[in-house]
Amino acid sequence: MPDVSVVVPIFNCAEYLETCLLSISRQTFSNFEVLCIDDLSQDGSAKIVNKFSKLDPRFRLLRHTENRGAGGARNTGILNAQGDYLAFVDSDDFIEPNTLELLVDATHDAKFDVVECGFNVVSPGGKILSSHVPTPRQHNDTASFGSCLLATNPSFWNKLWRSELFRANGILFPERLYWEDLATIPRLIAVAKNMNVIDAVCYNYFDRQESYTNAAGPKHLYDYLKVFDILLSFLKERGLYDAERKNFEELVRVNMHYHADKIHRRGFYNMHDTDRYLAYCFVLCSGYLDSLELQDSDSQQILARIRQRKRLEPEAAEVPGLPQEAVVPKPKSNLLNRLLGIR
C-alpha cells in the first residue's frame, strides 16, 4: 500500500501537465501513487497521463464523464486513494524533488494529521515572483490552533493531509464552486488533532493570468457567499459558531478584500468598471455580515426587513472613490481598506 496518494485534478492543462507529472515522478520518496483525474478535458491531457502510466505503474488515470470542477476532481481522487496521506498538486504547478520526502518525514512517523510547507509563486516564464516561507511551528493539540478558520492559509496544495480526516468526518470539496479550498480547509483543521509547519519551500504555484483566482465576475462573488454559508453551517453543526463568530467575520472580510485587492492591482477592467466591481465586493461583504443576524429568520421576516430598510443619509452613503489614474499596480483605495474595516 502507498504511504501517500498524490491527487492531480486536470482540466485542459496539457501545456503544463508534463512538467507537473515529471516533477512528481522524480521524487526522492518512492512509496506513493498518483491519481490523475481528468475532468472532461478536450486538449489531449489524457494522452499525456497515459504516457506516464505506461512507464510508471504508480500513475493512474481516472476520467469523468461530466465536468465537476476542481472540487469534484479532487473528490474522485480522495474516494479512490489508497494512501494513508493525501497530497494535492494542481496540473499547472510543480513540486521540488524532495517534497514528498520532507512532508512525510515531518509527520514524525504518522504523528501529525497535517503538514504544511512553503511555496513559490512562479511567472509564466519560470521566474520566481515571490517565496512564502512559513515560520516553523507545531500545533500539538486542537487548542493550539487558536481558530480553525484562521489557523492556516486557504491553499490546499502546500499541505499533506491524513486521509482519515476526510473519510471519518465525511468531508469533501464542494463541486462546481470557486474557492473550494476555503470551504474545505477550515473544516479539516477543526477535526485535525495536530499540525506541523515546516519552513521548506516545496511547492511551485504557477501564476496564470487566465486562472479563475485571477479573474472576476458574478460567479466569483456569488460563490464566495456559498462558501461562507458552507463554513457557517459547519460551525453551527459542530457547536463552534459562538466561539468562532468574530473569526468568521474576519475570514469574510479578509477573503473578500483579497479578491478585490487582486482585481484592483491587476486592472482587468477600465477604471470605471473596476470601481463598480470593488463597490459590489463592498456591498456583498457588508451585506453578508449584516445578514448574520437574520440566520434564524424565515422568508417573510427577511422580506419585511428588506422592505423596511432605511436609506442611508448622503453623508453616510458616500464611498470614497479610487484613484483616477489607471496605473498597475495601483495604491490601495479607501474602498479596499473599508472592506477590512466593515463592522
Q: What is the pLDDT of residue 312?
A: 46
Best CA proximity match to 112, nearest among 5, 196, 9: 196
C-alpha cell at 21: 507529472
The CATH class that applies to domain 4-206 reads alpha beta
Best CA proximity match to 29, nearest among 110, 104, 87, 94: 104
pLDDT tier for residue 141 given thresholds of 50, 70 and 90: very high
Cis before 329 (ω within 30)? yes
Q: Which helix H or strand E contains 341, and what residues bound it?
A: helix 334-341
Q: Where are the domains of the chain?
A: 4-206, 215-341
Average pLDDT estimate for 76-80: 98
Best CA proximity match to 145, nearest among 187, 200, 99: 187
Whole-number Å distance between alpha carbons of 274 and 255: 18
Percent of the chain clearing pLDDT 70 (strictly above): 87
Identity of the amino acid at 153: N
DSSP 28-79: S---EEEEEEE-S-SSSHHHHHHHHHHH-TTEEEEE-SS--HHHHHHHHHHH
Residues in the chain: 343
Q: Say whether pLDDT at 33 is over 70.
A: yes
Best CA proximity match to 328, nearest among 256, 255, 261: 261
Q: What is the pLDDT of residue 326?
A: 34
pLDDT digits (tens, 9 = 90+) for 282-334: 999 999 999 998 877 888 888 888 888 654 444 444 444 433 333 334 445 56
Beta carbons of 270 and 326 less than 8 angstroms apart? yes
